[in-house]
Amino acid sequence: MNLSLINGKTSVWTRRLLATVLLAGPLSAFALELSGELHWAHRVELSVPVKGVIKAVPVRAGDTVAKGQRLLILDQRPYTSRLKGVQAEVKGLKAVRDEMQRELDRSLELYDRTVLSEHELQVAKNNLTSAEAGYQKGLAALRKARLELEYSELKAPFAGIIVSRHAEAGQVVVSDLQPVTLMVLAANDVMQAWSRVTASDLGNIRPGSRASVKLAGQTYPGLVSEISLEPDSRLSDKDKYYRLVVEFKPANILRMRAGLPVKVILP
């Protein structure tokens, strides 16, 4: 393997993987080969925590997207209108708070001159406290309105590939009871091969150990990322099997499909 592959443009995970394989050398001729299945390393179901009518869905299944890219936009007019209304309310509440502050300042001056009673001074203080509470409540409503407007757009939380799309323009989204999955996104840099192995076959294999994945006629270097500590209770075999997960970087993520059969090779 060419060391020039490890350059500044390569991901930290890939550099670690390549370095491990280079140091360890080729896999042993007595390697253990296990049947397995392809899985996404990082897969999330996406929705929006607000309700509304979908205005546009600018991506389709199979598209690669960047972190922060817009995946879906609701009709934002209700949220924009609410935000403007709350902004106006906060402006009024601030004016009341400022006036109560000036009133208290005048009351303190009169109190020092013994013109104002202690009771009247306390009333001025209470008025300011009430006005301040109303203003702070308005600011909280303003933050919520801004957040709802932000939530009316669904953005990719990380770079990846759109696995499936369950949204169309004109569709009504109601998230009051339970959010509806509108998009499924998976990371497009690393995938996983899941297999099962007996405790006796594991030997000295540990998370971080090197392995290989055979898929569609190609073999990819990988690293063991997980070995379950409990046997799979769904299997009724006499031997106890444990889940083994190997992470690897495929050559072309666009040709990958979760569920494809793979072979996991352990040294």
Q: What whole-number percentage of the chain has pLDDT above 90?
A: 67
Q: What is the pTM of this model?
A: 0.74
Question: Cα separation of 218 and 221, whole Å?
Answer: 10
What pLDDT, on a 0 to 100 scale, did the predictor assign at position 77? 97
Whether the per-residue pLDDT at 233 is higher than 70: the answer is no
| pLDDT tens for each residue of 152-174 | 999 999 999 999 999 999 999 98
Give me the mean pLDDT over the 252-264 stretch: 84
Whether the per-residue pLDDT at 209 is higher than 70: the answer is yes
| pLDDT tens for each residue of 33-66 | 999 999 999 999 999 999 999 999 999 999 999 9
| pLDDT tens for each residue of 172-200 | 998 777 778 999 999 988 999 999 988 88
Domains of the chain, first to last = 3-41+190-266 (2.40.30.170), 45-76+152-186 (2.40.50.100), 77-151 (1.10.287)
What pLDDT, on a 0 to 100 scale, did the predictor assign at position 254? 65
pLDDT interval class at 234 (50, 70, 90): low
What are the backbone angles phi and psi of residue 263, rounded to the nearest 5°? -120, 130
Whether the per-residue pLDDT at 21 is higher than 50: the answer is no
pLDDT interval class at 109 (50, 70, 90): very high
Give me the mean pLDDT over the 234-238 stretch: 58
**Token pair of 184, please?**
């499924």
Whether the per-residue pLDDT at 3 is higher than 70: the answer is no
What pLDDT, on a 0 to 100 scale, did the predictor assign at position 236? 53
Q: How many CA atoms lie within 13 A of 209 on its CB side?
A: 16
Provide long-range contacts, Cβ within 8 A and 24+ apart, for 250-255: 250/191, 250/215, 250/220, 251/218, 251/220, 253/64, 253/161, 253/188, 253/189, 253/191, 254/62, 254/64, 254/161, 255/216
> What rounded mean pLDDT belongs to the chain?
86
| CA neighbor of 218 nearest in space, from 153, 265, 148 | 265
**Token pair of 30, please?**
């007595």
